[in-house]
């Protein structure tokens, strides 16, 4: 009995050592293949990294579930929002004719897009679910231009790794990796259920990212930057969410 347990102790010790070593190797590989999220530091870094890495490996090209027209929720929830600021109200008074989306950073042709310009590109629609981290959800038909189309027009440089996008509300900005930025269902959305996108749902312009939770689908977007590092943005955690204690990657 005693010998057996000693032998067992040694083998489990060796197994633990092997485990720690392979963890180190895994961390290196993960870093190289872009499987480490910008908010990997801190006590929850392990969980965030495991979730992001595994979902990136499993879901790089998968498509968010799309639903039939009959499954569209009767009322898309306009959820609670901070009060709209002066700058927004002024643009709203002008029917959003002067709303602009600027794209810069690691692109060949930085530029500014008006709503009319964005609407002139081939539009796409998707009937997808918007799920909030709180637990509620609704299904709606979103219309817009795929983000990849706008990025192609701007000409992303090969070293680009993230797209950072900003709301007119200075406290709301997010970023996504290129897998999500170039994903066919990632839209710059301007329409909801066949109509203009209501202000309550993020109109006139909202980033729509159906494979992540609602807070990544930033409302009232005005600015985008393509970058190879998130260090220079805010506290360097990737977006406003981690600064408020929320995960940068919100696929779960």
Interaction site with other proteins (CB under 8 A): 1-2, 5, 8-9, 12, 44, 46-48, 50-51, 55, 58-59, 62-65, 67, 71, 73-75, 77, 79-80, 129, 131-139, 210-213, 244-247, 251-252
Q: To the nearest whole angstrom, how small is the minimum distance from the Cβ of residue 59 to other proteins?
A: 5
Residue bearing tokens 């990544």: 216
Considering beta carbons, is residue 11 or 102 the nearer one to other proteins? 11
**233, 243, 239, 99: which is closest to 174 by C-alpha?**
239
Q: Kindly tell me which of 8 and 89 has the beta carbon lying closer to other proteins.
A: 8
Phi, psi of 164 (to 5 degrees): -100, 135
Of the two residues 13 and 94, which places its CB atom closer to other proteins in the complex?
Answer: 13
What is the nearest approach in angstroms of other proteins to the Cβ of residue 235? 14
Measured in degrees and rounded to the nearest 5, phi and psi for residue 193 equal 50, 45
Minimum Å gap between C-beta 117 and other proteins is 30
Helices (H), the chain: 2-32, 45-59, 86-93, 115-120, 147-154, 178-181, 240-243
* Shortest distance, position 246 Cβ to other proteins, whole Å: 5
- Judged by beta carbon, residue 53 or residue 106, the one nearer other proteins is 53
The whole-angstrom separation of Cα 89 and Cα 70 is 35
């Amino acid at each position: 009995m005693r010998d057996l347990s000693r032998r067992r102790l040694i083998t489990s010790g060796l197994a633990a050592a092997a485990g720690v070593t392979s963890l180190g190797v895994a961390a290196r590989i993960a870093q190289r293949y872009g499987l480490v999220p910008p908010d990997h530091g801190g006590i929850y870094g392990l969980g965030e990294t495991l979730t992001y890495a595994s979902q990136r490996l499993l879901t790089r090209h998968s498509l968010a579930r799309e639903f039939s027209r009959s499954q569209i929720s009767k009322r898309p929830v306009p959820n609670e929002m901070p009060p709209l600021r002066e700058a927004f109200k002024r643009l709203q008074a002008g029917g959003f004719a002067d709303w602009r989306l600027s794209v810069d950073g690691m692109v060949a042709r930085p530029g500014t897009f008006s709503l009319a310009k964005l609407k002139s590109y081939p539009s796409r629609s998707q009937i997808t679910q918007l799920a909030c981290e709180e637990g509620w959800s609704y299904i709606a038909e979103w219309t817009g231009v795929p983000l990849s189309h706008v990025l192609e027009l701007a000409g992303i440089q090969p070293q680009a790794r993230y797209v950072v996008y900003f709301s007119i509300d200075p406290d709301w900005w997010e970023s996504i990796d290129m897998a999500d930025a170039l994903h066919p269902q990632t839209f710059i959305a301007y329409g909801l259920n066949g109509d203009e996108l209501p202000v309550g749902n993020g109109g006139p312009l909202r980033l729509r990212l159906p494979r992540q939770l609602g807070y990544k689908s930033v409302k009232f977007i005005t600015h985008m930057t393509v970058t190879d590092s998130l260090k220079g943005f805010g506290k360097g955690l990737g977006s406003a969410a981690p600064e408020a204690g929320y995960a940068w990657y919100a696929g779960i």
